[in-house]
Structure 1
């Protein structure tokens, strides 16, 4: 048993949700790609010359028109800028791509996503975070254990 379901049902759920995760990843990259189309990432020097209006204005408008937080648009745009379509790995989540996008060197970044952590068949967010040299953010990664929280009787 895994939680309240059999192992075979759990495997079915994981397969289904991997498909959903793939759709979400594609959707987030599409948002990022379109935000890049609207506001390409320019060198800092172009802002000083007055060649462009602030990207924040058009990205805020896009966020408002989509009903999304502007930070979602900004993160998707930045992540898409760091991962050209031919370098994106369909088996990895957008969040893993976003974390690994923090690797400055392009060659190292593109190689990193193909170099799975030892014994793993896919990246986890914690593995990607650790690859950047920082501690993972889930409680299990921080503590080395998982705590089960159960409801109090009568709660």
Structure 2
């Protein structure tokens, strides 16, 4: 258990929470009071309704704008508080629940029942409404940093939604972790998908999979020979295979990322400094690919001084 929270002790923290909750409740009452006043000035009317015009009078917007100006607040604030007050009759407003939560839940068809059943807060272990919990209840996207496992998984899925290139790179990266791969293969559906992909690649002969083709061509010859090999040679072979696979994955990751991002430049009007920065990085990429080709052809991986200076940005 924490003895201090921030710069205060736990007891003082609880005192501040209690006093602040009172202020939050007071603020909610004040906001509802302003909303009720605005609602009295300009009640909500059905769409298409109208008032009999006996004499010239202000429009709804003009009346609310005048009210807001007299209070010294924005028209948007008054209009929002008026609408929220209309959605929450006094008998359905919940004491101890912020005005913000009432605002978020205001459009929910079962809001009166929903607000009486606050969800469990994973941070505090207490059932309590928060702005983030209310957003989840109505299906809004949360701005909060993911905390629970479910929230983190949902965030990753949202980021990779509709982008197969990103999903493939992320899945490949995660499956390189032995524990992750082991747990993933315990899932029957995941295991079935991997097996299906392997069968499809085998039937295609690897022609459409550059990684499989390069990998097989590179290491298949080394597997032929005596059935009993030196353990040191085996370990070195595993390490060599892993390093080769990592290099191919880096190349494929760059290609996938470029294929996703370059088409988006069509609508961009780049500045001269942005063009210069991209040109410098492209020059580094060309030099790096030349280095890779040279290393593959000669077995020499040392950087010459000119290339080293270029990669350092000199």
Secondary structure of residue in 2 paired with 1:46: coil
Conservation of the 8 A alpha-carbon contact between 1:91 and 1:122: no
Cα RMSD for the two superposed structures: 1.9
Q: Structure 1's 61 and 139: CA in aligned 2 closer, same or farther, altered over 3 A?
A: farther
Mapped to 2, the partners of 1:69 and 1:140 lie a distance apart of 33
Question: Which residue, out of 6, 9, 21, partners 2:9?
Answer: 6
Larger proportion of helix: 2
CA deviation string 1:71-90 (max 9, x = no partner): 11011000000000000001
Instruction: Between the two structures, name the one with larger relative contact order (CA 8 Å, sep ≥ 6).
Output: 1
Mapped to 2, the partners of 1:74 and 1:138 lie a distance apart of 27
With the length of structure 1 as denominator, give the TM-score of the two structures.
Answer: 0.82
Q: Structure 1's 140 and 68: CA in aligned 2 closer, same or farther, altered over 3 A?
A: farther
**Is 1:100 matched with 2:102?**
no
With the length of structure 2 as denominator, give the TM-score of the two structures.
Answer: 0.42
Secondary structure of residue in 2 paired with 1:129: helix
User: What corresponds to 1:74 in structure 2?
Assistant: 79
Q: Deviation at 1:53?
A: 5.0
Number of aligned residue pairs: give it. Answer: 139
Q: Extract unaligned runs of 5+ from structure 2.
A: 153-314
The structure 1 segments of at least 4 consecutive aligned residues displaced by more than 4 Å after TM superposition are: 49-53
User: What corresponds to 1:115 in structure 2?
Assistant: 117
User: What corresponds to 1:85 in structure 2?
Assistant: 90
Question: Which residue, out of 25, 40, 45, partners 2:43?
Answer: 40
